[in-house]
Structure 1
Amino acid sequence: MSRIPLILLIFIPYWLAAQVTDSIASRVVLDTEVVVAAKKGFDIKKFIEIVQADSVFAQAFHRLRSVPYQSSNEFHFFSRKGREVAGYKSEIIQKKVDSLCMVMTILSEKATGNYYKRKGKHRYYTAKMFERLFYKKGKHCPKPKPVTPPQHTRMENYVQQLKKLIYNPGKEVKIPLIGHKTAIFDEKMIKYYDFKIQSRRYKDETPCYVFTAIAKPNRPNKTVIKYLEMWLDKAELGIISKKYHLKTTNLAFNFDIKMDVDLIETPLGILPSKIDYDGSWKAPMKRKEISKFLLLFNFDSGAILEPKLKSDN
């Protein structure tokens, strides 16, 4: 039996990644301004590599646990017919209490409808899950990494993988009937997408290159990420905004989620300034939940922000 030289095993992953980059570059549609920029030296392949290798987005979410901030949060839950059945608003502040630990305090909160069960327990698992993702009430400190991985139930493992999908859409996750379909930059997946790069201004101000991946409509069962839009500022090619649409229907999960996340550069690092969610979700043995929420973060000592949900128009 022949053996593959070690040097080849080391370089094969890089070669495969380069092949995928070349495949996307050959398919991507450029607008006029990007074509001109490419002629003047803008490296399309390098830009695609930055998009593929992005870890800043996930790091920004994780960094929330360890920095001081003030946030305004607004949740709304709806019946299948579109009637609002529950709501929740809160103002939260997180502060350092020593060199390692943070403490989170609820400044104000108001729940309406059937948001809570008896004894103040969450009725909606969507709210419970996103509270686990973004908030940790009371005092919390970094935990040492366990020597052996913690044992989770099957549902807890799914939640951990769903975190990865929400934090970093476009990468593979370990969820039955879903995982490989989320890796949109994989050689087997790129054929199901149309790619484009445009030159636009973020909020009519910051010059940006915008990378977009749109799932082709003729094979809906082959994709989970239906739309991915990433804004990178032209000066540093840093990601400042990401929009994505996740949708699937199978025996394990049924969801249709749209998220719009803005990032901001602060002295504390790159952090999310806005998380806007609109979608429906059905987990195993649970009722379908339809909700919208908006989280706004302020990383200085300014006034508390007042959230306003997007209109449906």
Structure 2
Amino acid sequence: MLPGCWRVIVLLIISCNLYAQDSLVTVQNKTVTLKEVVVRNNLNVAAFIERIRNDTTFYKAFRNLKVLGYTSLNDIRMYDKKEKITASLYSRTRQHVNNGCRYTQVLEENTSGDIYDKHHQFNYFTSRLYAGLFFAADTICGETNIVKDAAFSTQGKSGLAKHKEQLKMLFFNPGKKIPGIPFIGNKVALFDDEVAVRYDFTIDMEAFKGEMCYVFTCKPRADLTENEKDKIVVNDMTTWFRIDTWEIVARNYDLSYNAGVYDFNVHMEVELTKFGNYLVPKVLRYNGNWDVVMKKRERCVFTATLFDFTNM
């Protein structure tokens, strides 16, 4: 027989477990699971979902790189099908900004394999894409970090420029249709009713590297039919938000699709930090492979680590 005080404690634990339940709410025709800790925190769910739909802070963080100086550690590795490194680049670069212009200085660099072609241009699409995000080989002037009126568009673009713009749409503007990508453009519009019905949405609270955050997760429903599974592109999207400002702290993606003429399987992780009033990327990790008919499959892992930010 337990002592009286222990019986009280046991009953309290059982009582807490009975009432510590998740809640289901419907917001904009979408069913969202609220973890018990979120329910107790009285989050305005409708406003939070709307903020996610219209969020620009993530895109703004990357646009801030156009007006700030920073140092970047760049680690790019290309692999063959046996997971052997075939080409690589490790470098330390510094972006300088002055009078509305910016350029990249290579401080140190080590390469292997055919990461560059004979003209010292990147030999792989993935590495060219990386360079387009973090390197300014020539001096670039007249850019701003203004998000308003900086809408995504592929109009007038082709080749790598078009692919980079499409990636930015997916990366910075999740939940919106992406024009120009065959077969999948509307399948990533997570908040459109016909797409949202295939997903479970969950809001929780947890610590991310010591900071308590709201966590918004989108995952395909477990009961999808095979036909419905064929329409899935975003296998997981998890975003951590600051509780007080709702700014994004970090975001992870798992994306995959097989359209016959091309296929891809990509995992991305991004961590953001603050430099003064600027929200900026701190770490970006990519692990993925993709293949297009008539082209060689690319398997790449890269990490960008950004630090020593300046505004002059």
CA distance in 2, matches of 1:143, 1:209: 33
Alignment check: 8 A CA contact 1:74 1:293 kept:
yes
Q: How many aligned positions are there?
A: 272
**Matching residue of 2:287:** 278
Q: Which runs of 5+ in 1 are unaligned?
A: 1-19, 302-313
Q: Does 1:103 align with 2:103?
A: yes
Whose helix proportion is higher, 1 or 2? 1
Displacement of 1:62 in angstroms is: 2.1
Closer, same or farther in 2 for the Cα pair 1:155/1:105, shift >3 Å?
closer
Are positions 1:185 and 2:191 aligned together?
A: yes
Q: Does 1:123 align with 2:123?
A: yes
CA contact (8 A) 1:240 1:262 kept: yes
Distance 1:235 1:104 in 2: 35
Moved more, 178-187 or 246-255: 246-255
Hey, what does 1:4 align to over in structure 2?
Answer: none
Deviation at 1:154, TM superposition (A): 5.8
Question: Partner residue of 2:37?
Answer: 33
Residue 80 of structure 2 corresponds to: 79
Deviation per CA, 1:198-224, whole angstroms, max 9, x where unpaired? 110111x11111000002353221121
1:168 aligns to what? 173
1:253 aligns with 2:262: yes
Compared with structure 1, are the counterparts of its residues 56 and 288 closer, same or farther at alpha carbon in structure 2 (3 Å cutoff)? same
Q: Name 1:12's counterpart in structure 2.
A: none
Amino acid at match of 2:207: R
CA displacement at 1:284 relative to structure 2: 4.9
* Secondary structure, aligned partner of 2:74: strand
More strand by share: 2
Q: Which amino acid letter does the alignment assign opposite residue 262 of structure 2?
A: F
- The unaligned stretches of length 5 or more in structure 2 are 1-25
Residue 71 of structure 1 aligns with an amino acid whose one-letter code is S
Give the 3 Å change call, closer, same or farther, for CA 159–253 of structure 1 in structure 2.
farther
Amino acid at match of 1:256: N
Quote the offset at 1:170 in angstroms.
Answer: 2.3
- In structure 1, give the amino acid aligned to 2:39: V
The answer on whether the counterparts of 1:65 and 1:134 sit within 8 Å (CA) in structure 2 is no
List per-residue Cα deviations over 1:141-170 (Å, max 9, x = no partner).
12699xxx9733366434422231123332
TM-score using structure 1 length: 0.81
> Higher mean Cα deviation, 74-83 or 118-127?
118-127
Q: Is the 8 A contact 1:103 1:137 kept in 2?
A: yes
Counterpart Cα distance in 2 of 1:58 and 1:164: 9
Counterpart of 1:190 in structure 2: which amino acid?
Answer: A
| In structure 1, C-alpha distance between the alignment counterparts of 2:194 and 2:300, rounded to whole Å | 33
| Distance in 1 between residues matched to 2:118 and 2:194, nearest whole Å | 48
Q: Which amino acid aligns with 1:106?
A: V
* Alignment match of 2:242 (pick from 215, 230, 233): 233
Pick the structure with greater CA Rg. 2
How many angstroms apart in 2 are the aligned matches of 1:239 and 1:119?
39
Deviations 1:76-125 (A, max 9, x none): 1111121111111010101123x211121010111012222223232211
RMSD: 2.2
2: CA distance, partners of 1:251 / 1:156 = 23
Gap change, CA 1:151 and 1:300, over 3 Å in 2: closer
Change (3 A) 1:268 1:234: closer
State the shift of 1:300 in Å.
3.5
Q: Are residues 181 and 277 of structure 1, via their aligned partners in 2, closer, same or farther at CA, if it must alter by over 3 Å?
A: same
In structure 1, how many angstroms separate the alpha carbons of the residues matched to 2:161 and 2:97? 29
Distance 1:142 1:295 in 2: 25
Deviation by residue 1:37-88 (Cα, 9 ceiling, x = unmatched): 23xxx21111111111111111211221221111101011111121111111
Mapped partners of 1:140, 1:132: distance in 2:
12
Answer yes or no: is 1:88 the counterpart of 2:89: yes
Instruction: Report the Cα distance in structure 1 between the residues aligned to 2:141 and 2:246, rounded to whole angstroms.
Output: 33
Q: Residue 131 of structure 1: CA displacement? A: 0.9
Return closer, same or farther for 1:224/1:235 CA change in 2, 3 Å cut-off. Answer: same
Residue 151 in structure 1 maps to residue 152 in structure 2: no
